[in-house]
């Protein structure tokens, strides 16, 4: 039972196509969705997602993203997460942001490492939104132990040193860290960054509880090939 | 909290960088205590970079404004700006950590030149990210970097200025974190960068304090420095922060104080998170980082180092603005009166003193002249009505 998650940039390439993609994900029974709320300076992202974010920010702001999230919630029946950057939350007001995305199951903040997570955890948990932590090839055992103990939902395992859009390489270091992370941990370990196709999914799922696909999904959505792409993953 | 100045600072970076920041902090504390490393650094500062730099009594300027002005001559440092203090220090630190590759961002190109210089000297591979707009307006420094052996990478995304260059340098660092040191050029970024940059730039303040006591027999009333990210300012402020001396940071007022037309982060911003730290930030109501402007590439940045946010809130330092036109006035006045062509960044500190001459009446003032202005002749030339 390997889970498949899809990341979409909110309202990219436009509202209609975005919502249509959400419906496709619902129809294919995708296990979870991550909705990216764009940020002006997305340093964890590669070109594909950054360009999409810049495009959306020319026309929209957080009020639009929150409205759309509610529409997504009405369409999509499985788990729903918001993915963004620290200042989209902080600069808007953490409490207000948490309340506005109450309908989501969790929040993923790309530039919020575990060491800084405390101040954000509280407001989100107040509204039943779980804060997702990251593990990376750079994480030590002690880092992973802490994250195991404080995660209330899945852990986002970043497959590589780099930004979104790279290529998955399941080397020994990654495999052994995935193994350590999964050991004695009763939540899902989801592998992200660099997952593109069915073969990547199959390989990744030997070592994780699931995967999330971002850049490749965003690229296909922009190329009007989203339906065929999702179909090709099964 | 560790890594904070009051409520400002922190490490808001992708998780991948956390281990390296921990190692950097640890190495920095060991480096500071290491007598051999310290000696090596001091030796390079003296015999290679040309420290100490003079504290020059600017008599003509003083006569012109009606009070005593001293200039801390960082423009006389090798490569023409204070930036070399930090790059020599951090490259020695990078070697100390066993890294062999350096990435850096640059706005005005001074930090890029200083990074390329120290890399050439100490045998490091050097990659410098620079926004397209800055490569055009600070072209002489692009040529210098290339000559020094750096790989200058043009950034054609976002604002195409310092902010975009930092974004790309961070992305490079995340990918190459095992071999690469990110040599941040200002007192910004995640902990421990603001501490490291202050440590290496504090030589400015230490010298200036000693020099003014020697020359005037007393401390100054005010110390004035321009603030981009805040490294030259924190460097000179650190020498006087415990004294009863007024500290003034001068931000770029740009064309006006309407959002988008200036880079006056502390004057007009509010707390936010960018490039790894919580600090004052120019942003919109939704936390998106605002477009900014300054005639000076080195000040054209929406953020500021976290310690300055702390100094502002605690009222230990004050921050004010100098507009583009006033900075150009400072640039010209200093050139004509003293035969010193200042960097456009430093010209903001000079312009601020000129426009506030009434306020400084009878005072003893030190202006940190952070760099020289050769790189800016093209900008001055192209400004209408400002033909040199
Ligand atoms: C000469 C000079 N002064 C000042 C600055 C601004 O940086 P900081 O505020 O870090 O001193 C720069 C940056 O490029 C510079 O080149």
pLDDT, tens digit, 9 for 90 and up, residues A36-89: 999 999 999 999 999 999 999 999 999 999 999 999 999 999 999 999 999 999
For residue A114, is pLDDT > 80? yes
Residue from B181, B2, B178 nearest B91 by CA: B181
Residue B387 has pLDDT above 60, yes or no: no
- pTM for the model stands at 0.97
pLDDT of residue B388: 45
CA A88 to CA A37: how far, in whole Å? 8
Averaged over B52-78, what is the pLDDT?
98
pLDDT over 90, % of chain A: 98
Active site residues per annotation of A: 34, 45
Would you state the pLDDT for residue B385? 61
Q: What percent of chain B has pLDDT over 70?
A: 98
Looking at the complex, does the CB of residue A66 fall below 8 Å from at least one CB of chain B? no
Tell me what the pLDDT averaged over chain A comes to: 97
Phi-psi region of B13 (alpha: psi -120 to 50; beta: other; left: phi over 0): beta
CB of B358 closer than 8 Å to CB of B364: no
Q: Give the H or E element holding residue B281.
A: strand B276-281
- Please name the residues in contact with B232: beta carbons below 8 A apart, sequence gap of 6 or more: B74, B82, B201, B204, B225, B226, B346, B368, B370
What is chain B's Cα-based Rg?
Answer: 19
**Cα–Cα distance measured from residue B269 to residue B116, given in angstroms and rounded to the nearest whole number:** 33
The answer to whether A124 touches A131, Cβ cutoff 8 Å, is yes
Give dist(CA A98, CA A83) in Å, integer. Answer: 12
Note if B105 is an active site residue.
Answer: yes
Helix, strand, coil shares of chain B, percent, nearest 5, are 45, 20, 30
Ligand 1 center–CA B241 separation, angstroms: 20
Contact B291, B253 (CB under 8 A): no
Closest CA to B292 of B303, B281, B304, B302: B302
Interval B357-380: pLDDT, tens: 999 999 999 999 999 999 999 999
Predicted confidence (pLDDT) per residue in B208-225, tens digit: 999 999 999 999 999 999
Q: Using the CB atoms, write b or e for A94-131: b if 16+ within 10 Å.
A: beebbebbebbbbbbbbbbbbbbbeebbebbeebebbb
Measuring from each residue's beta carbon to the nearest atom of ligand 1, which residues come in under 6 Å? B 81, 107-108, 110-111, 186, 226-233, 298-299, 343, 345-346, 370-371
Query: Which string of DSSP letters, residue by residue, matches A43-99?
Result: TT--HHHHHHHHHHHTT--HHHHHHHHHHHHHH--SEEEEEE-HHHHHTT-HHHHHH
Percent of chain A with pLDDT over 70: 100
Distance separating alpha carbons of residues B27 and B18, to the nearest angstrom: 14
What is the predicted pLDDT for the residue at B383?
A: 87
Burial tier of A13 (Cβ tally within 10 Å: 0-12, 13-18, 19+): middle
Mean pLDDT, residues B21-43 taken together: 97
Nearest-angstrom CA–CA distance, A181 and A207: 10
Number of residues written out for chain A:
234
Q: With an 8 Å Cβ cutoff, is A137 touching chain B?
A: yes
Q: How many domains does chain A have?
A: 1
In 3D space, the residue among B377, B374, B364, B329 whose CA is nearest the CA of residue B349 turns out to be: B329
- The tens digit of pLDDT for each residue in B257-312 reads 999 999 999 999 999 999 999 999 999 999 999 999 999 999 999 999 999 999 99
In which band, very low, low, confident or very high, does the pLDDT at B1 lie, cut at 50, 70 and 90?
low
B14 and A158 within 8 Å at the Cβ level: the answer is: yes
* pLDDT digit string, tens, across residues A149-166: 999 999 999 999 999 888
**What is the DSSP code (8-state) at residue A210?**
E
DSSP secondary structure, A173-197, as one string: HHHHHHHHHHTT--S-EEEESS--S
- DSSP SS3 for B342: strand
Taking CA atoms, what residue in A is nearest to B7? Answer: A119
The angle at the Cα of B308, spanning B305 to B311, to the nearest 5 degrees, equals 155
**How far A231 CA lies from chain B's nearest CA (Å)?**
32
* B97 has a chain A CB within 8 A of its CB: no
ipTM for the complex shown: 0.97
Residues of A in contact with B287 (CB under 8 A): 39, 62, 87-92
Over residues A167-205, the pLDDT tens digits come to 899 999 999 999 999 999 999 999 999 999 999 999 999
Closest CA to B233 of B149, B331, B134, B310: B310
Main-chain dihedrals φ then ψ at residue B62, nearest 5 degrees: -60, -45
- Structural domain that includes position A52: 3-232
Q: Is the peptide bond before B52 cis (omega within 30 degrees of 0)?
A: yes
Which residue among B12, B18, B288 sits closest to A40, beta carbon to beta carbon? B288
Residue A20 sits in a domain whose CATH number is 3.20.20.70
Residues B365, B354: Cα–Cα separation, whole Å: 12
Model confidence pLDDT, tens digit, residues B346-356: 999 999 999 99
Partners of A149 in the β-ladder: none
| Cβ contacts of B273 on chain A, cutoff 8 Å | 85-87, 90-91, 111
Question: b/e map of B120-130 (b: 16 or more CB within 10 Å)?
Answer: ebbebebbbbb
CA distances from B305 to A57, B9, B281 (A): 26, 8, 10
pLDDT digits (tens, 9 = 90+) for B133-166: 999 999 999 999 999 999 999 999 999 999 999 9
* Nearest CA among A50, A41, A122 for reference residue A86: A41
Q: How far apart are CA B157 and CA A181, in angstroms?
A: 36
Q: Report d(CA A38, CA A88) in Å as an integer.
A: 8
SS3 B137: helix
B286 reaches A (C-beta below 8 A): yes
Nearest to B174 among A133, A140, A161 (CB): A161
């Amino acid at each position: 039972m390997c889970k498949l998650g899809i990341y979409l940039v909110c309202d990219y390439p436009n509202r209609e196509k975005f919502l249509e993609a959400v419906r496709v994900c619902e129809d294919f029974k995708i296990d979870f969705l991550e909705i990216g709320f764009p940020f002006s300076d997305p340093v964890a992202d590669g070109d594909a997602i950054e360009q999409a974010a810049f495009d959306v920010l020319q026309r929209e702001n957080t009020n639009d993203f929150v409205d759309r999230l509610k529409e997504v919630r009405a369409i999509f029946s499985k788990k729903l997460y918001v993915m963004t950057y620290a200042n989209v939350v902080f600069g808007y007001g953490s409490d207000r942001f948490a309340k506005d995305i109450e309908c989501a199951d969790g929040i993923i903040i790309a530039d919020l490492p575990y060491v800084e997570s405390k101040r954000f955890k509280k407001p989100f948990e107040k509204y039943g939104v779980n804060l997702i932590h990251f593990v990376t090839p750079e994480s030590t055992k002690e880092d992973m132990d802490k994250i195991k103990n404080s995660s209330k939902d899945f852990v986002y395992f970043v497959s590589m040193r780099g930004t979104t859009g790279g290529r998955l390489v399941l080397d020994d270091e990654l495999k052994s860290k995935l193994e350590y992370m999964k050991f004695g941990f009763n939540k899902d370990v989801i592998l992200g960054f660099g997952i593109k196709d069915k073969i990547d999914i199959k390989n990744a799922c030997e070592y994780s509880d699931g995967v999330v696909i971002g850049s490749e999904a965003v690229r296909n959505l922009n190329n009007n090939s989203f339906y065929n792409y999702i179909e090709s993953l099964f | 909290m560790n890594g904070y100045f009051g409520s400002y600072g922190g490490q808001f970076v992708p998780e991948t960088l956390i281990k390296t920041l921990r190692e950097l902090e640890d190495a920095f504390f060991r480096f500071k205590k290491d007598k051999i490393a310290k000696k090596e650094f001091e030796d390079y500062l003296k015999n290679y970079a040309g420290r100490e730099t003079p504290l020059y009594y600017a008599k003509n300027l003083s006569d012109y404004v009606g009070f005593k002005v001293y200039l801390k001559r960082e423009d006389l440092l090798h490569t023409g700006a204070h930036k070399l203090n930090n790059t020599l220090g951090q490259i020695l630190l990078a070697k100390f950590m066993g890294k062999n590759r350096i990435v850096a961002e640059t706005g005005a190109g001074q930090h890029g030149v200083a990074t390329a210089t120290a890399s050439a000297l100490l045998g490091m591979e050097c990659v410098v990210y620079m926004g397209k707009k800055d490569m055009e307006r600070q072209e002489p420094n692009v040529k210098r970097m290339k000559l020094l052996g750096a790989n200058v990478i043009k950034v054609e995304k976002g604002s195409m200025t310092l902010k975009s260059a930092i974004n790309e340098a961070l992305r490079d660092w995340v990918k190459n974190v095992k071999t690469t040191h990110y040599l941040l050029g200002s007192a910004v970024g995640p902990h421990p960068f603001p501490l490291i940059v202050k440590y290496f730039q504090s030589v400015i303040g230490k010298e200036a304090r000693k020099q003014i006591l020697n020359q005037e027999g007393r401390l100054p009333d005010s110390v004035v420095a321009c603030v981009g990210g805040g490294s030259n300012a924190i460097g000179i402020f650190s020498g006087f922060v415990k004294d009863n001396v007024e500290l003034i940071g001068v931000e770029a007022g740009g064309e006006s104080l309407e959002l988008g037309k200036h880079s006056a982060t502390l004057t007009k911003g509010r707390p936010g998170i960018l490039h790894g730290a919580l600090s004052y930030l120019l942003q919109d109501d939704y936390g998106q980082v605002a477009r900014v402007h300054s005639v000076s590439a080195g000040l054209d940045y929406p953020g500021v180092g976290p310690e300055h946010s702390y100094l502002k809130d605690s009222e230990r330092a004050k921050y004010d603005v100098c507009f583009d036109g006033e900075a150009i006035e400072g640039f010209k006045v200093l050139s004509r009166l003293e035969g010193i062509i200042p960097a456009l960044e430093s010209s903001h500190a000079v312009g601020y003193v000129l426009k506030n001459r009434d306020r400084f009446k009878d005072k003893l003032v030190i202006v940190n002249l952070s760099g020289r202005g050769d790189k800016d002749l093209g900008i001055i030339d192209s400004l209408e009505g400002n033909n040199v």
